[in-house]
Amino acid sequence: MAERIQKIISSYGVASRREAERMIQAGRVTVGGKPAMLGQSAQAGIDEIKIDGVSLATKSDYVYIVLNKPQGYVTTMSDEYGRKTVVTLVEDVGLRVYPVGRLDMNSEGLILMTNDGWFANYVMHPSHNITKTYEVRVIGDTAKAIPQLCRPMEIDSRLVCAVSVKLKKHTDGGDILSISINEGRNRQIRKMCAQCGLEILSLKRVSIGNITLGPMKTGHWRYLTEKERRSLIDMGNRIVES
């Protein structure tokens, strides 16, 4: 079935529809070897669509990776302010891949990257409630804050609460909390902690569903196994069915 080109590009997770429209207007998109026109339609998987000369991935080209993101990198394909992006850390994958969700520049840890738009949208969709766990070093009254974090609170006009909050370790440099959430809203943990009187010193995502960083070094990546990929899909299915 034919669809607008910007919709196809968006479904692959490469860019939003608005960003795709800008790509088309800038002459960066071709269909069948000819420059695409805004409003033009095509058939995904049949018509060859390229961005900057690179074809949108077919199913046989799909890759799924786990990156241990360092601080100081933004999770976008490009950045108008010239900041470092996670894309530069995975150039040796050999295919165009993009982040599944986001981690803010000052956070580190696990982020999934892929060229499979369906998978990216599935993992990010709020109805699937896939749990993400973070190790957060904080300063403040954690004994008072932990029960507050587990109760509903309003963040950006929406009610949110942690799935679980545990005190992992008390150190002279601050308490280390393990916080699990499943909404994944913009800077959610930072906003929740601030609302509970905690100052965050460091924030690291350590797992998404059953996927963990393990011994992977910061800045390194590995392929997601088929078992791991399937576990995320199964987890979302179980939640929706229940």
Catalytically annotated residue among 47, 52, 61, 104: 104
Tokens of 131: 């749990």
Q: What is the pLDDT of residues 215-224, one digit of tens each?
A: 999 999 999 9
pLDDT of residue 77: 85
**Mean pLDDT, residues 91-95 taken together:** 89
Q: Name the fold adopted by 61-125+213-241.
A: Alpha-Beta Plaits (3.30.70)
- Topology (CATH) of 3-56: 3.10.290
Q: Which residues of 140-157 are buried (b: 16+ CB within 10 A; e: fewer)?
A: bebeebbebbeeebebee
- Specify the pLDDT at position 177: 98
CATH code for residues 131-208: 3.30.70.1560
pLDDT at 240 (0 to 100): 46
Beta bridge partners of 109: 69, 205
The average pLDDT across 100-108 equals 93
> What is the crossing angle of helices 188-195 and 142-149, to 10°?
120
pLDDT number for residue 1: 74
Where do the structural domains in the chain lie, given as residue ranges?
A: 3-56, 61-125+213-241, 131-208
Separation between Cα atoms, residue 133 and residue 139, nearest integer Å: 19
Question: 61-125+213-241 with 131-208: one CATH topology?
Answer: yes
Separation CA 182–CA 175 (nearest Å) = 22
Tokens 């079935």 found at: 1
What is the C-alpha end-to-end distance of the chain, expressed in Å?
A: 33
**Angle at Cα 4 formed by Cα 61 and Cα 80, nearest 5°?**
70
The pLDDT assigned to 242 comes to: 43
Question: Each residue of 28-66: pLDDT tens digit?
Answer: 999 999 999 999 999 877 888 988 887 776 666 789 999
Q: Which residue has the higher pLDDT, 124 or 27?
A: 27
Known catalytic residue at 104: yes
**CA nearest neighbour of 189 among 170, 206, 171:** 206
pLDDT top residue among 234 and 91 = 91
How confident is the model over 112-164, as pLDDT tens digits? Answer: 999 888 788 888 887 888 999 999 999 999 999 999 999 999 998 989 989 99
Residues counted in the chain: 242
Q: What is the pTM of this model?
A: 0.75
How many other CB atoms are found less than 10 A from the CB of residue 123?
A: 24
State both tokens at 75.
Answer: 């999770």
Q: How much is the pLDDT for 238? A: 55
Query: How far from chain centre, in Å, is Cα 89?
Result: 15
Distance of alpha carbon 182 from alpha carbon 228, whole angstroms? 18
- Over residues 183-195, mean pLDDT: 90
